[in-house]
Structure formats: structure tokens, C-alpha cells
A and B are shown apart, each in its own frame.
Chain A
């Protein structure tokens, strides 16, 4: 059984009218989304097996983040299905659940609970999380006194300690200073070697090639290529260098 199985998934965003009367709102709330909306993700299918590491590449607005949100269960596909078997560590926007008035320590517990850790697990991993984040001396200060980099360090550190079977990374490897980035890369590499499944979005071909064996190129919500990371990256980079070239795949011709 595949860990992630995506079948003909589409996500449609409705065009919002600038003025919406209550009747329209109620209609939107009660009715199925129509097909006239904008397809952020259109008819995408692929399977992810255990221990695979896959990168999603493509321009801004290609549907990469929407697809990751569906895998995380944050958004529901309007058509098709997205099935996930296994626990997920989402490294989306790090520190999303942080509260500025709480201390680092309190945020650590709250965030770990939101990521699905039990109290015993947080206690057990507490020292390790602190050591990794390298901000132990500020842990009892309120988060609003932290710099951006410090809170990202804490968030990253909590997220990589939640022992997931699938790690989802949305462009967060640019966290912190160069030394911490190096550390994050090492940690992601370790997670991969431990046999975890990786699904990441990145704009940097170096990062893709460093972590992923397979890459999927999304273009305007559709899948253009799915294959060996280097081949897909090369095709994508050629497209970036010269966008007038014909796109690979047959479904683009129909578009």
C-alpha cells in the first residue's frame, strides 16, 4: 500500500465577486462548488511509496502548496481523492501556531501538542529540541522578544522532533543563518536516511537534487512531468531559461 495515494485530485477556487449578498453566501455554503471556478490543482494522480523522496517543482501559482495542503489534510480535494496512510510532520509555514505573549517554553509545549506529540514525548524530547534549536538561554523569555530567526529555529526544531513517517517541507529550508541552514539540511538528510518519506517544494534545483530521487513538475495546476529528479529538473530549468519552448507532455497541447 502506498503511503500517499492521489487520484485525479482537483482543487477549485471560486472566483469571489467583490460584493456578495447574504443569499449568495448561503448558496455557496450549502451547494457543491461549481466547475466554473479556477483550478489551482487539476486532475493530478500519483503515488508515493514508503522511503521515497519527492520534490514538487514549478513556477509560483503552479499549485504546489495547494497540493501539499491537501496531503496534510488542510484542504479537501473538490474532485478525486487524496489518501494518506501515516503520520505527517508538516514544515509549512513554521511557527504558525506560536503565540507572541507566551514564552518559548510554553510555545514549545503548545506547538508540540498541535503537531500530535503526547506530553510524555515532549518531556522526553525537550532537551533534544532545545539543543537543536540553540536558543536554550532564551527559552523562558516571551516569544515577542525573539528575532524572526530564533522563533523559526524553535519551530523547525519542534517539527523535526515529532517522529513522523512522512515529512512535508514547503520551502522552509532557508531558515536561519548559514550555520543553522547547514544543520537543517543535515537533519533532513538524516530523516531521509532513517527511512522517512519526504515530500517537498523547492525552487532551488540544488536542494531538490540533494534530497530527492524523484521530481514532479507542476504547471498551472497540471502535472507536466513525473520522473527521475535530475531529468525533471533539467527540463524545468530549460523551460525557465526559455519559456517559449514547447512544454513536455501531451495534455499541455490540449490546454
Chain B
């Protein structure tokens, strides 16, 4: 029975990922900024110049979608691969194994914080202001991370038994881009589907972020309840699947 210091271990694992990722790079955190900047520039150009969409603050709208989308897809994929990449630890170090996919999700938070800095910068230069409803941001992001932990636990465990899972995740991430409001707005979604659409936690996070930052309003209770519901179910299922699968990790590695 492992009864060590959970938080200390989590911090050390996240610090490890951070150091390993940036130590051998000369431009370091710049790469975290480059991806959303390039995507934002390309989409802004395509949609405002070529397709001529009259949407105010379109760059900020894009960033509000791209940043949560990037965070979600990268964190989910790295969580899915985390157990395979730490075979030596799974097989030889007795610890609470849940901590490995969880740490890989938290490792991506450093990325996210840098990108949120970029978002704040664009918010300020485009004449929008920081308002009291920004306090909702940690709430919706917290719920999203809960959802991600449940999902990551389940997919990382399944990836040990069926190594194809990572490719399913990659393909799903491509599809996901089109079922969240990044290059279009919630108004474009057919009315019949809007209720269902909000159950997608990534879409819900993006909608809430856009409402808070662009609309200066609090996210609707309806949306928050849906997000909380899906996140709670995900956490419960994720831990249950992981605990059940964990009994057989040893034989499969």
C-alpha cells in the first residue's frame, strides 16, 4: 500500500515533464505561443479576408476556441500515452498509478497558462476589458480538467490493452475541431441540436469562455449544470475503469 505524499509526487512529476520538455530547446516557451498564433493568423485571414465574415473581435473569438481546443486535445493525447511511456514505473515502482495520467494532464497546464497570457494580451489590444465575470473562468476550467482526468484515466488504461486507442484519440481530435465553435459561432448551430451540442464539454468550455470574455457575461446556469454533470460522470467512470483495468496492468506490460 503506497501512502506517500500525493501532492509532492504530483509536483515532482509535473516538474519533470516541464524540465524534460524545455531543457533541450533554445526557444523554450516560445513554441507554446507559436501554434495558437499561427492558427489564429491563418484563420483570421481566411475568414475575414477570403470569406469576409462580419464578426467583431474575430481574432479573440478564435483564440477563445483555439486555446481550450489545443489544451484539451494535447492533454488528452498525452494522458492516453502516459502509461505506455512510463512502463518502468508501472512495472517496478509501487505507487498510486492514477497519478501518472493525472500528472501528464497537469503538465499541459504550463502550456495553457502561457497561452492564456496571449489571450489576455489580445483582449487588451482589441479594446475589450477584463470584467468581474472572469472569476467564472477558473470554475469552468476546473470542471473541464475534471472531465479530462476521467477521460484520460479511462483512455490511458485502455491503451495498455489495445494500443490502437491512441489513434482513435487522434482521429477523434480531428473531428472534435468541427463540433466546437471555433471557426463558427453557437448561432450557426441548428436550433434542434443546440441543447445536445452543449453536452460536449469542450464545446461548453469554449462557449463559456466566449460568453465571459467577449460577452462580458456569466455563463448560463444551464450550460454550467451540463458541464458539471458530464464532468462528474466522466470522473466516476474514469476512476472505475482505471481501477478495474489496473489489476491486469502487470501482465500486459
Contacts and interface: CB of A to CB of B under 8 A. Distances in A.
Interface of A: 13-14, 22, 25-26, 28-29, 33, 69, 72-76, 84, 87-88, 90, 92-93, 96-97, 99, 101-102, 106, 109-110, 113-119
B16 A84 contact: no
A74 B90 CA distance: 8
B18 to A, nearest CB: 11
B19 interface: yes
A116 B24 CA distance: 29
Contact of A76 (B11, B15, B20, B250): B250
Contact of B88 (A88, A93, A102): A93
B12 A115 contact: no
A96 B90 CA distance: 9
27 contacts: A14-B251, A26-B162, A29-B161, A29-B245, A72-B94, A73-B2, A73-B94, A75-B250, A75-B251, A76-B247, A87-B3, A93-B88, A96-B88, A96-B89, A96-B91, A97-B89, A97-B93, A109-B12, A113-B4, A113-B8, A113-B9, A113-B12, A114-B4, A114-B9, A116-B2, A116-B95, A118-B4
B4 to A, nearest CB: 3
Contacts of B24: 101
Contacts of A92: 92
Contacts, number: 93
Given A92-B92, A93-B92, A101-B23, A116 B16 contact: no
B19 A115 contact: no
Contact of B95 (A33, A76, A114): A114
Contacts of A26: 162
A114 B15 CA distance: 13
A225 to B, nearest CB: 27
A152 to B, nearest CB: 14
Interface in B88-107: 88-95
A112 to B, nearest CB: 9
A88 B94 CA distance: 9
Contacts of B94: 72-74, 88, 90
Nearest to B10: A113
A72 B92 CA distance: 9
